[in-house]
Structure formats: structure tokens, C-alpha cells
């Protein structure tokens, strides 16, 4: 990427770092996932603003940048797919746990109340 302007190079590196971090972290740690997604979003927004400024200044986008962003888009799509699959597995696990909880509550509910009968003696 050495043919990119230094500011663009810095922004691309930030996006690469955020994408690599998101791809490599434990997806079961919701806090880390949320933080990594926010960092990647910030990197994407910064790069988008830089590209918009370049276009407004009538400077063409470097083809190497476009190729790199295409590769990053593919990596992001793979991450999104894995997160969507994880979400569905988690949803199914929660449904199973809720069913088991209902069964447990049914089994451990209050014992039946003792029926009192009134006889003619009293």
C-alpha cells in the first residue's frame, strides 16, 4: 500500500487492525464484540470521510485502495456471517433453557394442597 497518501495509509491500517481484532476475538464475550464493532465502525467512518474529501477535491480514488477495501469488505462479511450464526445458536440455547426451566418449575412446584374433608362429626 506504499503508493497511498500517508493519511490514507494510516486509516487503512486502523481498519485492518479493527477487522483483525474482530475476527480473532472470543465471540462469546459480548462486551469485546461490541467494543470491536464500534472500533471498526469508527475506522470505516474515518476512511469514508477521507474518500469523500478526496472526491470533493476531484482526486481519483487509488485502485489499490479500492482493491484493499474490497478485500476488507469480504472479511467483514465473513465476520458478520459468523456473528449471525452465533446469534442463532445462542437463541436456540436460550429457548432450550427456557423449556428446561419450565419443566423444572413444574416438577418442583408447591406440593398439592392437602384436601380437608368435613365429616358429619365435625
Residue 44 lies in a domain: yes
Q: Is residue 120 part of a domain?
A: no
Q: What is the pLDDT, as a whole number, of residue 30?
A: 85
94, part of any domain: yes
For the entire predicted model, the pTM comes to 0.71
Structural domains counted in the chain: 1
Name the band, by pLDDT with cuts 50, 70 and 90, for residue 1.
low
Would you say residue 22 lies in a domain?
Answer: yes
Q: From residue 6, give the alpha-carbon distance in Å to each of 10, 43, 55, 65, 96.
A: 6, 15, 17, 12, 52
The answer to whether residue 74 sits within a structural domain is yes
The domain in which residue 76 lies consists of: 6-107
User: Within a domain: residue 115?
Assistant: no
Residue 61 pLDDT > 90: no
Task: Tell me, rounded to whole angstroms, the distance of Cα 121 from its chain centroid.
Answer: 72
Q: HSE (CB half, 13 Å, CA atoms) of 19?
A: 21
Residue 21 inside a domain? The answer is yes
Answer positive or negative: Cα dihedral of 12, 17, 20, 25: negative
Q: What distance in Å separates the CA atoms of residue 45 and residue 40, rounded to the nearest whole number?
A: 9
**116 falls within a domain:** no
pLDDT at position 112: 63
pLDDT at 113: 67
pLDDT band at 32 (very low <50, low <70, confident <90, very high): very high
Q: What is the mean pLDDT of the chain?
A: 88
Amino acid at each position: 500500500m506504499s503508493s497511498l497518501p500517508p493519511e490514507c495509509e494510516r486509516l487503512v491500517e486502523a481498519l485492518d487492525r479493527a477487522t483483525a481484532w474482530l475476527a480473532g476475538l472470543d465471540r462469546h464475550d459480548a462486551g469485546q464484540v461490541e467494543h470491536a464493532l464500534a472500533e471498526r465502525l469508527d475506522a470505516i467512518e474515518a476512511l469514508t470521510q477521507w474518500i469523500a474529501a478526496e472526491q470533493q477535491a476531484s482526486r481519483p480514488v487509488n485502485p489499490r485502495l479500492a482493491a484493499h477495501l474490497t478485500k476488507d469488505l469480504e472479511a467483514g462479511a465473513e465476520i458478520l456471517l459468523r456473528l449471525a450464526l452465533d446469534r442463532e445458536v445462542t437463541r436456540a440455547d436460550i429457548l432450550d433453557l427456557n423449556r428446561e426451566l419450565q419443566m423444572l418449575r413444574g416438577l418442583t412446584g408447591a406440593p398439592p394442597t392437602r384436601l380437608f374433608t368435613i365429616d358429619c362429626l365435625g
